[in-house]
Amino acid sequence: MSLLDLLFSNLINEGSLAVIDSSGTRRQYGDGSAPVAVARILDAKTERRIVLAPDYHLLESYTDGTLVMEEGSFHDFLDVCCANVAGGGFNPAHKIYQAMGRAFLFWQRWNPVHLAHKRVSHHYDLHENLFRLFLDDDLQYSCAYFHSPEDSLEQAQVAKKRHIIAKLDIKDGQSVLDIGCGWGGMALSIARAADVTVLGVTLSKEQLEVARRRAEQAGLADRVRFELLDYRKLKDKFDRIVSVGMFEHVGPPHYRQYFRKVRDLLTEDGVALVHSVGEFDYGSSNPWIQRHIFPGSYTPSLGQVLPAVEKARLWTTDVEVLRVHYAETLKAWRDRFTEHRAEAAALYDERFCRMWEAYLSACEIGFRRMSLMVFQIQLTKHRYALPFTRDYMFEREKDHQSD
């Protein structure tokens, strides 16, 4: 029995996976049920790498083209593997690899200002047209909010913004800070929902250019301003602070600094809302995602985040966990990327497209099969900053539905 055969024999108990090795030998694993996938590995070097570090090299081999699909998609292949991992199908080598990976990536959690700019640029300064191939019209690049799986991506992203705005309890005349504002969609939506001023800060030059253009086109540039600025350099006070999909880039060594800064930037009766990808386990950084997609990123557990909130002397006034919403969001993105794959290849190349397929598939399955989730934490400086009950959230959300 080869080491590759030993790996998949120990891993795959459910589903149907066939692997054709570099010698042409085909081996079948699982119980024959769905999902079904057949993969071919083209050389012995790739086989050895997969055995030593499956978390990394399954994704890397597909990106490099040394693992190709004979039947089903790479998404199907990952789905079979992760369905079994989620069911306890780890082997000793895999556990050792995970422990080594966590130790090796510890240094990448350090995210000072000069590194933050470089890491953000790696991903978010890709061409705007790439993101327009698979995102909604508002360029929301974070978890949507699905009332049901039948909702369209556009409907779910509108619902996400409405949900967050309701939690912020925004009132006319207030000032709002959007930390990690992306292409400006949330800031512009807040300005449409209330007569407020909004400052959005980003470290991406590409996003800044798009956000400023959109504010001008919407006729909101007098109330919505965007700056290329690290949040740690801000000095002003804000009535409301929102951060969507940015906290994943902060890093555990900076959590106390982050929440202390949020506290410093809030007015005395201010409210903040942090929306982030998280894990219900320990928290982790997938090494392949770290290298190719989001350098310096880290997915925290609530157990890692909340102590930093408390040490910053902030009240945690509400916590919500979104369990499957991001899986549905990523499925919609993956379907749209697949539909426009030729356009993505024209912008970049085939290897880039395989890398993007691996990224979207791995993340979707992480939310659908593994321990990934999204949390929203509402924060205040004192206990009387918000109404006594959560009823106002539902009332505000209902009000905005008619806007």
Determine phi and psi for 375, rounding to 5 degrees: -125, 150
Distance CA 109, CA 178 (A): 23
Among the listed residues 81, 181, 353, 363, the single catalytic one is 363
| Residue 296, token pair as written in the block | 């310096």
Side by side, which strands form the sheet with 372-380? Answer: 224-228, 197-202, 175-179, 238-244, 266-279, 372-380, 315-322
* Known active-site residue 363: yes
Distance CA 161, CA 98 (A): 36
Distance CA 288, CA 128 (A): 23
Name, in order, each residue with C-beta under 8 angstroms of 229's C-beta and a sequence gap of 6 or more: 201, 202, 203
Quickly tell me which residue has 């982050």 as its tokens: 258
Residue type at position 191: A
Q: Which active-site residues does the annotation give?
A: 363
